[in-house]
């Protein structure tokens, strides 16, 4: 296996307040890594570093063997890093179709984008001219996920895809993620639905207070979490 993403001693923060204190993480091409941890641990911050939105204050961000510290998010997106950010990853005032058109970078045409997206998520096909902000949360996340489907990225970053959604809807979304994973997209997944994330993952890390506190196979992490949970009770 080849290494797609490697973080070496990443430090990052906001306004002089350091949030990540040296994170090491390796993501092999085509593998799924679950990143877990309590609220405020720095999971979102970590994904923001990888997507290029936040420049790390220290350490190396290496994608595909090249050190990419400080490369703008737009460039990384064009290079194949697809991010579905925390919250709803759509433009609420654009229609579904216009949202899809925003995904036409990386050399895919408009009709191609629409076809691929609607094949994956048939529910969207009936709503092409609806303003995205008026769709249900689940539909919005489908639309957001469509970006990963149509652009065929090398690396997909998912930040709490399931936030605020009903379990059944989440299940549907996760099936789509699973299909992407099986198609060979490397995925870093941050989730509150720990079990669902661990089911998908090849490997898992736990971050707490800006440091990797535990790392291993999903089963092992599951046991650790359970022990911590019952231990604390």
Tell which one of 5, 10, 12, 19 touches ligand ATP (CB under 6 A).
19
Please state at what angle helix 167-182 crosses helix 137-151, rounded to 10 degrees: 0
Regarding 136 and contact with other proteins (CB under 8 A), the answer is no
**Residues 49-108 contacting Mg ion, CB under 5 A:** 86
Tell which one of 8, 11, 21, 106 touches other proteins (CB under 8 A).
106
- Binding partner of residue 14 among Mg ion, other proteins, ligand ATP, none, CB cut-off 5 to 8 Å per kind: ligand ATP
Determine the Cα–Cα distance for residues 212 and 122; give it in Å rounded to an integer.
Answer: 39
Per-residue exposure over 204-217, b if at least 16 CB sit within 10 Å of its own CB, e if not: bbbbeebebebbee
Torsion from C-alpha of 54, 117, 111, 89, nearest 10 degrees: -30
- Residue closer to other proteins by CB (options 91, 118) is 91
Instruction: Give 197's contacts (C-beta < 8 A, 6+ positions apart).
Output: 34, 36, 189, 190, 191, 204
- How many other β-carbons are positioned within 10 Å of the β-carbon of residue 153? 21
- Binding partner of residue 73 among other proteins, Mg ion, ligand ATP, none, CB cut-off 5 to 8 Å per kind: other proteins
**Residues 75-104 contacting other proteins, CB under 8 A:** 77-78, 82-83, 85, 89-94, 98, 101-104
- Applying CB under 8 A, the residues found at the interface with other proteins are 40, 51-53, 72-74, 77-78, 82-83, 85, 89-94, 98, 101-106, 147
- Applying CB under 6 A, the residues found at the interface with ligand ATP are 14, 19, 37, 39-45
């Amino acid at each position: 296996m080849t290494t797609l993403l490697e973080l070496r001693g990443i430090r990052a923060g906001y306004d002089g307040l350091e949030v990540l204190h040296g994170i090491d993480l390796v993501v092999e091409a085509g593998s799924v890594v679950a990143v877990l941890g309590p609220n405020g641990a720095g999971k979102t911050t970590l994904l923001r570093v990888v997507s290029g939105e936040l420049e790390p204050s220290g350490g190396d961000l290496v994608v595909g063997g090249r050190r990419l510290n400080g490369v703008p998010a737009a460039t990384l997106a064009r290079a194949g890093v697809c991010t579905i950010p925390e919250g709803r990853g759509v433009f609420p005032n654009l229609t579904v179709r216009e949202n899809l058109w925003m995904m036409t970078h990386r050399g895919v045409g408009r009709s191609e984008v629409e076809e691929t997206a609607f094949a994956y998520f048939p529910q969207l096909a009936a709503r092409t001219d609806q303003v995205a902000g008026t769709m249900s949360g689940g539909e919005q996340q489908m639309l957001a996920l469509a970006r990963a489907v149509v652009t065929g990225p090398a690396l997909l970053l998912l930040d709490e895809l399931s936030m605020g959604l009903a379990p059944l809807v989440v299940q549907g979304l996760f099936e789509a993620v699973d299909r992407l994973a099986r198609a060979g997209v490397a995925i870093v997944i941050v989730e509150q639905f720990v079990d669902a994330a661990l089911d998908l993952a090849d490997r898992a890390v736990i971050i707490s207070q800006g440091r990797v506190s535990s790392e291993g196979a999903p089963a092992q992490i599951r046991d650790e979490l359970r022990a911590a949970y019952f231990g604390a009770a």
